[in-house]
Amino acid sequence: MTHPSKVPANPWLVLAGLSLGVLVTNGFGRFAYGLILPAMRADLDWTYAQAGWLNTANALGYIAGAVGTMLALRRRGPAGLFALGLAVTAVALVATSALPALWWQSLWRFLTGLFGALSFSTAGALAARLWADNPRLNALGIAILFGSGGGSAIVLCGATLPPMLAAWGDGSWRWAWVIVGVLSLAMAPLGLWAARRAPVPPRREVSAPPLPSGRMLAEYAGYAGFGLGYIVYLTFLSAWMKEQAASPLQVALVWVLLGGCITLSPMLWRGVFARHASGRPLAMVLSGIALGSALPVLWPTLPGLVVSAVIFGSCVFMAPSAVTNFSRKNLPPESWGSAISLFTVVFAVAQTIGPYAAGALGDLTGSIGTSLLAASAILLAGAAVAALQKPL
């Protein structure tokens, strides 16, 4: 078994670099599409099902990447996998702009998911060793990793892409991907540096005891509900707002609020994560996401959308933090990477179904709002199951 390396002199700078990796692979790689989707759908004459399919392709890649990470961690350390995923994701985002054909878009959405999963699955294991002897700082660091990375990406995209697409026209969706890709390439060096400087978690040996998966079923099931439900909101929120004749500035406002609340959410949840080793934090997070998903339909005005963005943003990126914290509190360090990868596989499989099914339901009913309500119901079911998880 390898021994963990020493904590770096400036763990906050290392955490910032790892967060930039999450910003690129999870924020830009997965959620920028929700803002660019309305322009692509209008310019390319896609149905909701076709638009949803691209995020399903992304989720299929995510499954492959999560499974690959789980297997690779038995032979390789997480730092190299994180770096590879970050570098290829940045290139893939630029390549998305090249051709409008559905097969081309599907290919690069798939590859973005595949390599994004390499980074996302290993980021938590790298960050979890930065303050291994300080549970409160450790919980805060993990929450910041997922919250600030994804939230900052949504703020950047929300503030720029809707006004740009409105001013330049639907055909400018290619330039949106160029901008996102170039920003990703610019942020990659600090992320790559952080991967080299992060403490190395003990490697899980091939002969190590298996994970106690049977005793973690409620946490797995809750996280599956998260994967199935949350992605509907982030894929189709802008499309729903367009159905309601929202202006580009209103879309930008809602997304900036959403991203800002995601960035601040670690401060709201750090105490919860520090106190609980059960499934209660995940159940609380999923309940908030469910409420935020339903509000745009139940209260379809700008104030309702603002409240929805605040609630959803305050909760959504805390689901990965919840399962990372659960793994850290209940499992030995050499099992953290494998456990987080397995959670990511469960999440990715569930996430695959959500976008296409939500798009098809929106085509069937004539409104994507129906899909937002269905997603809310699934998230509430996941919260109920997660609440049953006991500490190991």
- Give mean pLDDT, residues 105-112: 95
DSSP state of 200: P
In 10 A of CB 212, how many CB atoms? 12
- Check residue 9 and give its pLDDT: 62
- Residue 44: which of 91, 122, 101 has the closest Cα? 101
What residues have CB less than 8 Å from 52, skipping those under 6 apart? 235, 236, 355, 356, 357, 358, 359, 360, 362
What residues have CB less than 8 Å from 291, skipping those under 6 apart? 311, 376
Length of the chain counted residue by residue? 392
Is the confidence at residue 194, as pLDDT, over 80? Answer: yes
- Residue 191: which of 110, 115, 137 has the closest Cα? 115
Written as six digits, the tokens of 97 are: 């702009």
| % of the chain with per-residue pLDDT over 70 | 95
Is the confidence at residue 34, as pLDDT, over 50? Answer: yes
- Check residue 201 and give its pLDDT: 64
- Give mean pLDDT, residues 81-91: 95
Give the separation between CA 293 and CA 381, rounded to whole angstroms.
Answer: 14
- Residue 342: which of 67, 113, 58 has the closest Cα? 67
- Check residue 334 and give its pLDDT: 78
- Check residue 206 and give its pLDDT: 54
- Check residue 75 and give its pLDDT: 80
At residue 18 the predicted structure's pLDDT band, cuts being 50, 70 and 90, is very high
In 10 A of CB 232, how many CB atoms? 29
- Check residue 349 and give its pLDDT: 86
- Check residue 376 and give its pLDDT: 97
- Check residue 288 and give its pLDDT: 97
At residue 7 the predicted structure's pLDDT band, cuts being 50, 70 and 90, is low
Q: What Cα–Cα distance (Å) separates residue 136 from each residue in 129, 130, 212, 275, 381? A: 13, 12, 25, 9, 30
Is the confidence at residue 315, as pLDDT, over 80? Answer: yes
**Per-residue pLDDT reduced to its tens digit, 220-236:** 999 999 999 998 998 88
Is the confidence at residue 3, as pLDDT, over 70? Answer: no
Is the confidence at residue 259, as pLDDT, over 80? Answer: yes
Q: Could you tell me if 86 and 21 are in contact, meaning their C-beta atoms sit under 8 angstroms apart?
A: yes
Is the confidence at residue 1, as pLDDT, over 50? Answer: no
Phi, psi for residue 210 in degrees, rounded to 5: -70, 160
| Dihedral angle sign, alpha carbons of residues 158, 163, 164, 169 | positive
- Check residue 203 and give its pLDDT: 61
Q: What Cα–Cα distance (Å) separates residue 150 from each residue in 32, 212, 240, 258, 367? A: 10, 30, 22, 10, 28
Written as six digits, the tokens of 247 are: 């202006």
Give the separation between CA 88 and CA 246, rounded to whole angstroms.
Answer: 35
Is the confidence at residue 16, as pLDDT, over 80? Answer: yes
Is the confidence at residue 4, as pLDDT, over 70? Answer: no
Tell me the average pLDDT of the chain: 88
Give the separation between CA 58 and CA 208, rounded to whole angstroms.
Answer: 32
Phi, psi for residue 273 in degrees, rounded to 5: -65, -35
Written as six digits, the tokens of 25 are: 């692979």
The SS3 of residue 77 is coil
- Check residue 2 and give its pLDDT: 41
**Per-residue pLDDT reduced to its tens digit, 114-155:** 999 899 888 888 887 788 777 778 777 877 887 777 788 889
- Give mean pLDDT, residues 167-189: 94
Give the separation between CA 392 and CA 389, rounded to whole angstroms.
Answer: 9
Give the separation between CA 27 and CA 31, rounded to whole angstroms.
Answer: 5
- Check residue 91 and give its pLDDT: 96
- Check residue 6 and give its pLDDT: 57
- Give mean pLDDT, residues 38-49: 91
Give the separation between CA 227 and CA 357, rounded to whole angstroms.
Answer: 13
- Give mean pLDDT, residues 158-175: 92
81 burial type by CB count under 10 A (0-12 exposed, 13-18 middle, 19+ buried): buried
- Give mean pLDDT, residues 177-203: 88
Written as six digits, the tokens of 234 are: 């982030």
- Give the residue with greater pLDDT, 208 vs 292: 292
Is the confidence at residue 362, as pLDDT, over 80? Answer: yes
- Give the residue with greater pLDDT, 381 vs 3: 381
- Check residue 375 and give its pLDDT: 96
| Dihedral angle sign, alpha carbons of residues 158, 154, 288, 240 | positive
Domain residue limits, the chain: 11-205+213-386
Which CATH number is associated with domain 11-205+213-386? 1.20.1250.20
- Check residue 185 and give its pLDDT: 95
Outline where the chain has alpha helix (H).
11-22, 32-44, 48-72, 78-95, 102-127, 135-168, 173-197, 217-243, 248-275, 280-298, 302-315, 318-330, 333-365, 369-386
| Dihedral angle sign, alpha carbons of residues 184, 285, 298, 352 | positive
